[in-house]
Amino acid sequence: MAAEKPAKATTHTVKVGDSLSSIAVHYGVTEKALREANKLKDDNVMLGKSLKIPAP
């Protein structure tokens, strides 16, 4: 049985229409994980901001 490679974290640049919840769904992570990875205090994301996407 081959060992699985760990998934790498990636980034996402916030575009018009993006929300924290839609980004989380797209990458298969939780909103809480996104907030923690990016040290966000709430669910607001700024247009053009680059967010770290944690490995699922």
pTM for this entry: 0.81
What pLDDT is attached to residue 9? 64
What pLDDT is attached to residue 8? 67
Q: How far apart are CA 42 and CA 56, in angstroms?
A: 21
Residue-wise pLDDT tens digits, 35-56: 999 999 999 999 999 999 998 8
- Give start and end residues of each alpha helix (H) in 1-56: 20-27, 31-37
- Among 44, 55, 49, 53, residue whose Cα is nearest residue 20: 44
What pLDDT is attached to residue 42? 93
Distances (CA, A) of 6 to 3, 33, 42, 53: 9, 17, 29, 14
What pLDDT is attached to residue 56? 80
pLDDT tier, 25 (very low <50, low <70, confident <90, very high otherwise): very high
Domain 10-53 in this protein, CATH class? alpha beta
